Amino acid sequence: MAANHRPRRLLHPMIHPLIARIGGTRTFRVLGPHLLPAVDRSVHRLSKGRWVPSRLVLPTVLLTTTGRRTGRQRTTPLCAHRYPDGGWLVAGTNFGRRHHPAWSTNLLHHPIATVSWRGHTERVTARRLRPEELAEERAHLLRIVPVYDTYAALAGRDVRVFRLTPTGRDAGAPPDVPAAAG
């Protein structure tokens, strides 16, 4: 079963350093947060969940979280590492911006989410990694976000990193939305 979830190789071994170089530019950090997620979400929708353009260069999933304040479902494309057990590693670098990405705040308040990857959707439970766990995951972090160190330094904050553990296969529907507190 683990063989089915093995990440695909990048198109070319030289693309990873190229991504690190481009991803660290100011132009990319300004335009990327606006363009990449919109394109990935649109293509994902048009391909019925089977593909996102970012996957050409980095392993990418779509994470759907429950909004902390609104309770609405929010979907965000993220670079992710796939573990052999089917879990995922995601990092809230937010392109090096000073604020945490909304999806990471949503996970802190509602840790049940869904991950869409290659046409499959599964329910996951998020757990934020402790600082000592981050050191163990460093190689994976640099694989999914080659500019992790640059983004962390620019952000000037602790980057939230999560382990997403599957809680059910082919969830199909977004996670249950808790009733709003009155």
- 126-146 pLDDT, tens digit each: 999 999 999 999 999 888 888
In a domain, 87, yes or no: yes
In a domain, 177, yes or no: no
17: confidence class by pLDDT, cuts 50, 70, 90? low
CATH number of the domain where residue 107 is located: 2.30.110.10
The predicted model gives 64-73 an average pLDDT of: 94
What is the number of H-type helices and E-type strands within the chain? 6, 6
pLDDT at 146: 83
- Identity of the residue numbered 124: V
Task: Say which DSSP state 156 is in.
Answer: T
Are 136 and 89 contacting, i.e. CB atoms less than 8 angstroms apart? no
pLDDT at 182: 32
Rounded to whole angstroms, how far apart are CA atoms 68 and 71?
Answer: 6
Domain that holds residue 148: 11-168
Give residue-wise pLDDT tens across range 33-58: 666 766 666 666 677 666 676 666 67
| pTM: predicted TM-score of the whole model, two decimal places | 0.71
In a domain, 180, yes or no: no
Task: Say which DSSP state 169 is in.
Answer: S
Q: φ, ψ for residue 12 (rounded to 5)?
A: -150, 140
The predicted model gives 147-176 an average pLDDT of: 77
Residue 128 CB neighbours (<10 A): 15
Tally the domains of the chain. Answer: 1
